[in-house]
Chains A and B, each alone.
Chain A
Amino acid sequence: MRQLILGAVAAGTTALTPIVASAQTEVQFWHAFTGRLGELVAAQVEAFNASQDDYEVVASHKGNYSETLNAGIAAFRAGEQPHILMVFEVGTATMMGAKGAIKPVYEVMAESGAEFDPDAYIGAVKGYYTTTEGEMLSLPFNSSTPVLWVNRDALEGAGIDPDTDLSTWQNVEGVLDELKAAGHSCPLVTAWQSWIHLENFSAYHDVPFATRDNGFAGLDTELAFNGEAQVTHISKMGEWAQDGKFVYTGRRNEGGANFRGGECALFTESSAGYAGIKSEAEFDFDVRPLPYWEGVGNAPQNTIIGGASLWVMEGHEAEEYKGVGEFLAFLSSTPVQAQWHQDTGYLPITTAAGEATRAAGFYEENPGTDVAVKQMTANEPTANSKGLRLGSFDQIRGIIDEELEAVWAGDKSAQEAMDSAVERGNQLLRRFEQAHR
């Protein structure tokens, strides 16, 4: 029954796609982008199709990240999977675990004979999607990293020098005190609390988020973010929340509206927030590197990415995989990548694309757009800062959100909350391990 329905849906989608010349091999590409990003993806696909005559890439939008992943899974079960599926970074372990459903990118590239040099990609970006043996499993597509956004007018309004050093949390704390003393109602706000204040925090301070190299070394990984460094940070944030220095607005990026509206002075959010802040903010703003606690761990190490990568699905013809290889090589080429980086604010995936952007004078014209790149590439990633590879991770993030809310509300101490999140998360990891035995 389900196969029938899925088949019908798939047939319906195919019927809607433009008719292509039969001589061309078709490559299906499912993605999660709408609006401006959707247009930019469409432009990339169009440029690829125009650049050669052998292959036709057909891009389809399948809903948000979770919906796209679910669509890909359902399609695979019905034998109707696309060639390329966009999967967000937290779905990485799910995709990796699906041996027999995915075809690793390094394999696709080797077989297709397309141009492919793994060393051309930025280590901190590709690391998230690469095995410990250095084999690239999926192609990084859109990646960003958290930074600190500063409302300069708000600082000035509170009598603080807007150029004051905000590189450490120690300094930020001083500024928060001053803002509060000046009667500011929202000194600090954040988006994506788990991603920024636990996942990136751990990488940045070079402390483990989970055992077994954050899950890269095996499914028998256990969460470890109830360590001293993380607990100290969360406990500080909890104190700030109680004192009204940190304002909690929700689990996603709800705080963006407060910052863009000029209510909040400091905002920890993805570097990809650039376009929105630039177009809406009616105040003078600044991008700064994410703060770190001076003297804790090896900070500043490097931050990790968020975003999505492209996975190649199993079960298609060799000729079609050749087309997939060509398309992925096209996406990685310097001009295409540099353009994507400049248009979207996402990180470039290759070093060459970053250099081309610098050479074109883009960073001078748009100050602050290179902060994220520098912060990601400052140091060679360690086992703690390569990324995370944890099963059921979307759900573990939900658990972390719940426990953090208990801290912000003053119901639990940071240690209690993190211990509980670790314990609950570990149960899910064990189930994931069992499902992939």
Chain B
Amino acid sequence: MSTPTTTSSAAIAASTPSFGLGIGRSLRLGFSRIKLEVRSYFRQGDSVFFTFLFPVVMLTIFAVAFSEQNFGTEEEPLTAAAFYLPGMIAAGLLLSGLQNMAIDIAMERSDGTLKRLAGTPLPVMSYFIGKIGQVFVTGVLQAALVILVASVAFDVELPSEPSKWVTFAWVFVLGVTTSAVLGIALSGLPRSGKSATAVVIPVALVLQFISGVYLGFSMLPEWLQNFASIFPLKWMAQGMREVFLPASFEVMEQSESWNLPGVAIATGLWLVIGLIMTRITFRWIRKDS
């Protein structure tokens, strides 16, 4: 057994005043957290399956099950894979962000991870950078995989105009960030890690059904469409439809328009709400519980 070397406490005391120098240190530790979080994510079998691969699995099921059906018109046919692609990408945003974060952080709260971190000089900001970074990295890989499978396995024609990809980029970045932040805000809701899955998954599932992910949004009654419009997923899915569906589908949207400004405003609003909720509700630990 060897003796660890110690830095003298005088040296520590001397360096303490400069220690608080915030932003640079928060960012450095934030990136260090992202590395650790991503590594840990892909080593967790259930999160890889239920969060990461889920949209690909669902896309495959729909594409195969409805392979004989035409989702377009006589003149402009559309395969099931092409029809479901935007919805699956939007679902991925919700799963990688909201569902994954809400469950992950609730688990970390109940298994003692957060308590341990609370006792270290890790800034809360770095922890959040790590979480959002993890969502971003896994979300990008997930979307790339869904698009790749759609294009290679099911011959879905991808948009060629750069403007469509610009829309894709901003809807994606805004959507994934909003979804992650809302997940962090929601993580305080379950009272224990074990109940987190039971609380969060139904919420996410209902949202997916009413927001045009599994059921065509135009099939829903108007009151349900209006209700779904309160939540951000409907808007993310709508943004993705603008990117991947033919222009002739625009008339089937609410107000017969892709309404991209609406997508930006509604999603942005939820981002702000999520940030405020996180700021108010997030604690490393529930004191005195």
A binds B: no
Q: B-side interface residues toward A, CB under 8 Å?
A: none
